[in-house]
Amino acid sequence: MKLIKVGAAVLNQTPMDWDGNTSRILSAIDQARQRSVSVLCLPELCISGYGCEDAFFSPGLRTTAWQVLEEIVPHTAGMIVSLGLPVFHQNALFNAACLVADGRILGLVAKQFLAGSGLHYEPRWFTPWPAGRAAELVAGPSRYPLGDLTFDCGGIKIGFEICEDGWVAQRRGADLVSGGIDLILNPSASHFAFGKQEVRRRLVLEGSRAFCVTYLYSNLLGNEAGRVIYDGGPLIASAGRLVACGPRFSFQDHLLTEAVVDVDLTRNSQAQASGRSAAEQTARSRCVEADFHFPSVAPQPVKNHLASWEQGPFLKEEEFTRAIALGLFDYLRKSQSNGFVVSLSGGADSSATACLVALMAQLASDELGLDGLKKKLAYIDGLKPQQTTHQVVHQLLTCAYQSTQNSSSTTLNAARQVAEAIGARFLLLDVDGLVTDYIRLIAGAIGRELTWEQDDVALQNIQARARAPGVWLLANLWGALLLTTSNRSEAAVGYATMDGDTCGGLAPIGGIDKDYLRRWLRWLETDGPSGLGPIPALAAVNQQAPTAELRPPSRQQTDEGDLMPYDLLNSIEQAFIRDRMSPTEVLQLMAVHYPQYGREQLALWVARFFSLWCRNQWKRERYAPSFHVDDESLDPKTWCRFPILSGGFRREIDQMKTSSPGDR
């Protein structure tokens, strides 16, 4: 047996936070050294941060990234460490992983396959490196190998699949193994999406099995740049067996997962692999050789650091809770905000938003301890050592119920019960006088009374807009973040008042549909996250039919009455956005899955969806940033681009309306 100890670390980095990023990298290296790790894989672009966007084009950014690399290099004595940064070569920019060994830069591997779908825009900034090519990077007086490289460090051969390089059909590992590679490092910046970790596990396991290697996967952690949440979850597999896996959604600055692996075992597996010709066994990559001494280590058992909620079957509710909680926590501290303000209506959306803030504090406190939580938020005045988590929530979260004459005691009581249950500060603001003054002002200016029969939408919107200034004032007074409570279903059809209920700097639930959000609230009422338990007070919210409460009570307004059933709306949205179906195709699909409504009613709802979708693209362009949680995002800046002005599917809708059931 030839045993070596390897490690994969996850880091909570921030774009262009040079000192902070360096500190976390050095802490991870120090921790790895204390645990006798010889080879350490760190995440993609960990020096600069992955989410620098067009700042990657700045020469100053690239210069500083290299300076930071040179500052880190001396701290790698006795270790082999991969560090990610952008590099500029022959007037092109490359996403590179630098391999450093024993205080010396050995070379830089450039990414060959760039992520350019969904929320990824790597081809905008970077150039893909051609397979089989190597060059020299000039950095001041020094020159370093750059390109398609492998490394022989003290007899151990190391190669790279940088994130997307391992996700494509023709993985780089297939070329690497022909050179007798022992270790494949995968430094990644792989965003969170529901159920994605299982896909990563398969990728890592299959890479280690098919290529007969030890495979190290590292990832970013937390809310790095504002919209994207990284769940961490480092993985190490050897010869098709998972030998170590780390936790996800941690509130720590960094986490290390390590394993002792047997290089002879994977080499024997390669030797037994059949069907490899002599040509295939000739490495295409240039191999950089370096002396390195691997210390003796003893075997160790498989390390499973998964939390209890990850041990059992996949539960979307747990992932949603922990992803948004971590996203909120990092957004709070990285923006140096003093807390959150929520306009709490007593309905599903605002109640979910408020509960997520409370869950954020509870989950952070559970992992970090109250002292650790307060240390992370030390810039906030008033956090005291003796405070309980409940009291911390009270300081961080202010909820305001803003009533008009159309508000009910049902929603008021629901809002109050939820705020009390989670420990939030609760304020009651009566804005009916403001609404009346606005209506009187405009009625006097145009010379007629405003009526519900003639001015329905305008009268609804002025109530929502009258609620905005007060909560903005509260947020400004306390240096807090105003959270908007819009969900993805509302964004799809524009069922929201711009500068009203959409006001705020961050939309925590903007990436999730209303149908799922209601299911999550029922789960939170009765079960709740592992280790925390339920919030029974949500029963007062879940018993209601969702309503904007903007029309007089006699009109019995409900959201689904204004729009359509939320489960149907979500299905239409998925068919259109995810599956790219036309209105007619969507109607055909809905007729199969929702026959209880009848084709005529379904045609009206499908037409309503497409008309509202096109009419309200301008609203989606103005919504506050939201968190990406699945691969059906409507965010026009990172996922779903659509023209503000369009033909509105008028031809398609007319064809759909005139088609008969026999046309299906």
Angstrom distance (rounded) from CA 545 to CA 580: 31
How far is 95 from 110, CA to CA, in rounded Å? 6
Report the pLDDT value the prediction gives residue 664, as an integer from 0 to 100. 39
H or E segment and range at residue 427: strand 425-430
Residue 277 binned pLDDT confidence (cut-offs 50, 70, 90) = very low
Q: Which two tokens stand for residue 514?
A: 């209303």
- Which residues are CB-neighbours of 421 under 8 A, at least 6 positions away? 535, 536, 537, 538
pLDDT at position 282 is: 54
Position 274 scores a pLDDT of: 57
pLDDT (tens digit, 9 = 90+) per residue, 312-334?
888 999 999 999 999 999 999 99
Q: What is the pLDDT of residue 143?
A: 97
pLDDT cut 70: percent of the chain above it: 97
Could you say which DSSP state residue 150 is in?
Answer: E
Q: For the segment 75-134, what is each residue's pLDDT rounded down to a tens digit?
A: 999 999 999 999 999 999 999 999 999 999 999 999 999 999 888 999 999 999 999 999
> 436-459 burial, b if ≥16 CB within 10 A, otherwise e?
eebbeeeeeeeeeebeeeebeeeb
pLDDT of residue 276: 54
DSSP letters for 605-660: HHHHHHHHHHHTHHHHHHSPPB---SS----TTTT----SS--TTHHHHHHHHH--
Reported confidence tier of residue 275, pLDDT bands at 50, 70, 90: low
Question: For 219, phi and psi rounded to 5 degrees?
Answer: -150, 160
Say yes or no to pLDDT of 278 above 90: no
Integer CA distances (angstroms), 116 to 127, 380, 441, 638, in order: 12, 39, 51, 11
Domain map of the chain by residue range?
3-306, 314-559, 564-664
Look up residue 129 and give its DSSP letter: P
> Residue 221: enclosing H or E segment and its boundaries?
strand 221-223
| DSSP label of 460 | H
Share of the chain above pLDDT 90, in %: 88
Per-residue model confidence (pLDDT) at position 662: 43
Looking at every residue in the chain, the average pLDDT score rounds to 94
CB atoms within 10 A of CB 35: 12
Angstrom distance (rounded) from CA 459 to CA 224:
41
Predicted TM-score (pTM) of the model is: 0.95
Q: What is the pLDDT of residues 523-577, one digit of tens each?
A: 999 999 999 999 999 999 999 999 888 889 888 899 999 999 999 999 999 999 9
* Better pLDDT: 503 or 632: 503
Per-residue pLDDT for 279 more than 50?
no
- For residue 657, pLDDT beyond 90: no
- Average pLDDT on 127-146 reads 96
Q: β-strand 92-101 against 235-238: which pairing, if any? A: unpaired
Is 22 strand, coil or helix?
helix
Of the candidate ranges 241-250, 313-322, 380-389, 589-598, the one whose mean pLDDT is the lowest: 380-389
Say yes or no to pLDDT of 376 above 50. Answer: yes
pLDDT digits (tens, 9 = 90+) for 20-62: 999 999 999 999 999 999 999 999 999 999 999 999 999 999 9
> Do 85 and 94 touch, CB atoms closer than 8 A?
no
Q: Write the class of the CATH domain 564-664.
A: mainly alpha
- Which residue in 224, 538, 541, 624 sits closest to 359, CA to CA? 538
Reported as a single tens digit per residue, the pLDDT across 148-180 is 999 999 999 999 999 999 999 999 999 998 889
Please report, as a single letter, which amino acid is at residue 338: N
pLDDT score at 134: 96
Angle, CA 158 vertex, CA 207 and CA 184 arms, to 5° = 20
Instruction: Name the amino acid, one letter, at 463.
Output: Q
> Fold for domain 314-559?
Rossmann fold (3.40.50)
Q: Give me the CATH topology for the region 3-306.
A: Nitrilase/N-carbamoyl-D-aminoacid amidohydrolase (3.60.110)
Residue 468: its pLDDT value, please?
97
Region label for 550, one of left (φ > 0), alpha (ψ between -120 and 50) or beta (otherwise): alpha
The Cα 477–Cα 480 span in angstroms is: 8
C-alpha 240/C-alpha 225 separation (Å) is 34
pLDDT confidence of residue 202: 96
Q: What tokens appear for 630 in the block?
A: 């699945």
CA distance 430 to 435: 10
Report the Cα–Cα distance between both ends of the chain, in Å, rounded: 65
pLDDT at residue 382 is higher than 80: yes
**Each residue's pLDDT tens digit, 1-18:** 899 999 999 999 999 999
